[in-house]
C-alpha cells in the first residue's frame, strides 16, 4: 500500500489568482440590500467601511481575480499548505475509505483566516487607511488580522466575544504581540456595547454584537475601516487558495473527492475549499460529488433557520443579506467552538444550499471533541474545536464505508490547530463539557425581529 502521507506544491505554484464562483453560479446571488432604503446597495453605501477594491470584488462576476504580488509574498511564509493522507486514522477506523485533509493550521496564527486578513490589510493600506476595526469569536480572526496589520503597519482594534475573551486569554496576548488591541465585547467603548452592558452586565456576547461594535467604531472615524473575517463574497474569494491548491495536488495524484466536508461559522474556510470543486458539480462534470457543511446543534443556522433577509450584526448597522439565519438578535449558548457561534451564513453558501449543491448537518459539542481526540491520537494534530465538527462527520462517513465496503475518497477541510484551546480540551477530558440543544424559544424570539423586506 502506498504510504505517501504529505502532498505539497512548490512555492512557485501558490495560486496567482483567486477563483470567483459568481462567474459560474447557475442563478445570480440575491442582491445585498441597503438597510435604510431596502434597495440593492451601491458601492457608495459601502465606502465608509471598505476599500473600493474589496467592494469591486464583492460584486464582481469575473472568474479569476489577480492576487497582488505583495500579498503572495506574505502567503509564502506558510503557503502552499500541506494536503495529508490520513493513513493512521483510516487504519484506526478499519475503513477502506481514503481520507485526506488540507491543513490550514500552519499559518502564523494557526488558521485559514490569514488568507483574507493579509489581503484585506493590503487593500486598506493601498487606500491610505490607518486603522481597522473588527470582531472576533474564538480569537482566530482577531489574531489573523493583527498579523495582517503588522505586515502593513496598520493599527488593529478587535472586539472579542466576551465568553471567548475569558475562555482564551492567550488569543488576546497573540493579538498584542502582533500589535493589535483587543477588548471584550460588549465593551464600554461603543454605544451598542454600553447599551447591552446596561441591559445585561454578564452578557456573554455574540459575533453579531461584536460586529455592531466594530462597525460603529469604524463609522465614527475617517481614518478607520471595518473588516469582516467571514460571510462576505470577497472573504470567501480570498479563501479559494485552499481549494485551488488542493485541486491541483489531487489532479497530480489523479484522485477526485467523493465527499468534501468542512465546518461552517460564517462559511469562509469551507467555501474556500469547496468552491473550486462545486464548479464541476454545477457544470455537470461531477454530478455525484457530495459537499457537506457542518455546524453546531447549538447554532443550527442552515439546518433550522429560515432563508430570509437579515442583518449581519445584532444592532442592524450592516447591509441586509439573504441567508439562512437564526435572527440577528440570537445569542448562542457558550460552546467552545467560538468561531461557529454566528446567527447567519455566507450568502454564497446559502444560495448553493437552496439550489441543492451542498448539504448541511448539525453536530453536538461532545461528539465533536470525541472525534478531535481520535484525530489527535492518530494523526497527531490537536485541532481547534471548529474543525472537530467536520472531523466528526468525516469519521462517520468513513465508518459508513466500512459497512458498505466502498473505498470513497473523503476530503476534510481542516481549518486550524487548537493549541490555544487547551481549556476546552481540559473541560472535555475532565467531564465538565455538556451538549446544548437547539434553544427553540430563543430562536423563535430572535426570528420575530427579522427585518421586513
Ligand X SMILES: Cc1ncc(COP(=O)(O)O)c(C=O)c1O
Q: Tell the smallest beta-carbon distance from residue 337 to ligand X (Å).
A: 8
SS (H, E, C) the chain: CCCCCEECCCHHHCCCEEECHHHCCCCCCCCCECCCCCCECCHHHHCCCCCHHHHHHHHCCCCEEECCHHHHHHHCCCCCCCEEECHHHHHHHCCCCEEEEEECCCCCCCECCHHHHHHHHHHHHHCCCCEEEEEECCCHHHHHHHHHHHHHCCEEEEEEEHHHHHHCHHHHHHHHHCCCEEEEECCCCCHHHHHHHHHCCCCCCCHHHHHHHHHHHHHCCCCEEECCCCCCHHHHHHHHHHHHHHHHHHHHHCCCCCEEEEECCCCHHHHHHHHHHHHHHHCCCCCCCEEEEEEECCCCHHHHCCEEEEECCCCCCCCEEEEECCCCCCCCCCCCCHHHCCCCCCHHHHHHHHCCCCEEEEECHHHHHHHHHHHHHHHCCCECHHHHHHHHHHHHHHHHHHHHCCCCEEEEEECEECCCCHHHHHHHHCCCCCCCCCCHHHHHHHHCCCCCC
Residue closest to ligand X, measured at CB: 339
Q: Which stretch binds ligand X (CB under 6 A): 122-130, 180-188, 298-306, 380-388?
A: 380-388
Binding positions for ligand X, 211-230, rule CB under 6 A: 230
**Site for ligand X (CB under 6 A): which residue of 89, 117, 138, 215?**
138
Q: Assess 299 for contact with ligand X (CB under 6 A).
A: no
Residue 412 found at the interface with ligand X (CB under 6 A)? no
| 415 binding ligand X? (CB under 6 A) | yes
Nearer Cβ to ligand X, position 116 or 409? 116
| Closer of 65 and 263 to ligand X (Cβ) | 263
Segment interacting with ligand X (CB under 6 A) among 10-18, 82-90, 262-270, 394-402? 262-270
Position 386 contacts ligand X (CB under 6 A): yes
Per-residue x/- track, 332-361, ligand X (CB under 6 A): -------xx---------------------
How many residues bind ligand X (CB under 6 A)? The answer is: 20
Q: Which of 109, 266, 332, 372 binds ligand X (CB under 6 A)?
A: 266
Nearer to ligand X, 86 or 236 (CB): 236
Does residue 137 touch ligand X according to CB under 6 A? Answer: yes
| Contact positions vs ligand X (CB under 6 A) | 111, 137-138, 140-141, 230, 263-269, 339-340, 384, 386-387, 415-416
Amino acid at each position: 500500500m502506498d504510504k505517501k502521507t504529505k502532498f505539497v506544491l512548490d512555492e512557485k505554484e501558490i495560486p496567482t489568482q483567486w477563483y470567483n464562483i459568481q462567474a459560474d453560479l447557475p442563478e445570480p446571488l440575491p442582491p445585498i440590500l441597503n438597510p435604510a432604503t431596502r434597495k440593492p446597495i451601491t458601492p457608495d453605501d459601502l465606502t465608509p467601511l471598505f476599500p473600493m477594491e474589496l467592494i469591486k470584488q464583492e460584486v464582481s462576476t469575473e472568474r479569476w481575480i489577480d492576487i497582488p504580488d505583495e500579498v503572495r509574498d506574505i502567503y509564502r511564509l506558510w503557503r502552499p499548505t500541506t494536503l495529508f493522507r490520513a493513513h493512521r486514522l483510516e487504519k484506526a477506523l478499519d475503513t477502506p475509505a481514503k481520507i485526506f485533509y488540507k491543513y490550514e493550521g500552519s499559518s502564523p496564527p494557526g488558521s485559514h483566516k490569514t488568507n483574507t486578513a493579509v489581503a484585506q490589510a493590503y487593500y486598506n493600506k493601498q487606500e491610505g487607511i490607518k486603522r481597522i476595526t473588527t470582531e472576533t469569536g474564538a480569537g482566530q480572526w482577531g489574531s489573523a488580522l493583527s498579523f495582517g496589520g503588522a505586515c502593513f503597519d496598520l493599527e488593529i482594534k478587535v472586539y472579542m466575544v466576551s465568553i471567548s475573551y475569558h475562555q482564551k486569554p492567550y488569543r488576546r496576548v497573540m493579538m498584542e504581540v502582533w500589535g493589535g488591541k483587543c477588548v471584550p465585547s460588549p465593551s464600554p467603548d461603543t454605544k451598542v456595547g454600553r447599551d447591552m452592558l446596561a441591559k445585561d452586565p454578564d452578557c456573554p456576547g455574540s459575533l453579531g454584537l461584536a460586529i455592531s461594535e466594530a462597525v460603529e467604531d469604524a463609522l465614527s472615524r475617517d481614518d478607520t475601516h471595518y473588516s469582516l473575517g467571514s460571510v462576505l463574497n470577497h472573504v470567501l474569494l480570498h479563501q479559494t487558495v485552499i481549494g485551488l491548491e488542493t485541486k491541483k495536488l489531487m489532479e497530480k495524484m489523479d484522485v477526485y473527492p467523493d465527499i468534501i466536508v468542512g465546518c461552517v461559522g460564517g462559511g469562509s474556510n469551507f467555501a474556500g475549499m469547496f468552491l473550486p470543486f462545486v464548479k464541476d458539480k454545477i457544470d455537470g462534470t461531477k454530478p455525484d460529488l457530495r459537499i457537506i457543511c457542518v455546524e453546531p446543534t447549538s447554532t443550527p443556522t442552515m439546518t433550522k433557520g429560515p432563508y430570509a433577509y437579515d442583518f449581519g450584526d445584532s444592532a442592524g448597522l450592516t447591509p441586509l443579506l439573504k441567508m439562512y439565519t437564526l435572527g440577528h438578535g440570537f445569542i448562542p449558548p457558550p460552546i467552545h467552538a467560538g468561531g461557529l457561534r454566528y446567527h447567519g451564513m455566507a450568502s454564497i453558501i446559502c444560495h448553493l444550499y437552496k439550489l441543492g449543491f451542498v448539504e448541511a448537518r448539525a453536530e453536538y459539542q461532545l461528539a465533536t471533541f470525541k472525534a478531535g481526540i481520535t484525530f489527535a491520537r492518530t494523526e497527531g494534530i490537536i485541532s481547534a474545536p471548529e474543525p472537530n465538527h467536520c472531523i466528526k462527520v468525516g469519521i462517520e462517513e468513513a465508518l459508513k464505508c466500512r459497512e458498505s465496503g466502498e473505498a470513497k475518497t473523503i476530503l476534510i477541510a481542516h481549518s486550524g490547530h487548537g493549541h490555544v484551546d487547551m481549556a476546552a480540551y481540559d473541560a472535555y477530558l475532565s467531564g465538565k463539557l455538556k451538549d446544548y440543544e437547539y434553544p427553540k424559544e430563543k430562536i423563535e424570539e430572535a426570528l420575530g425581529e427579522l427585518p421586513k423586506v
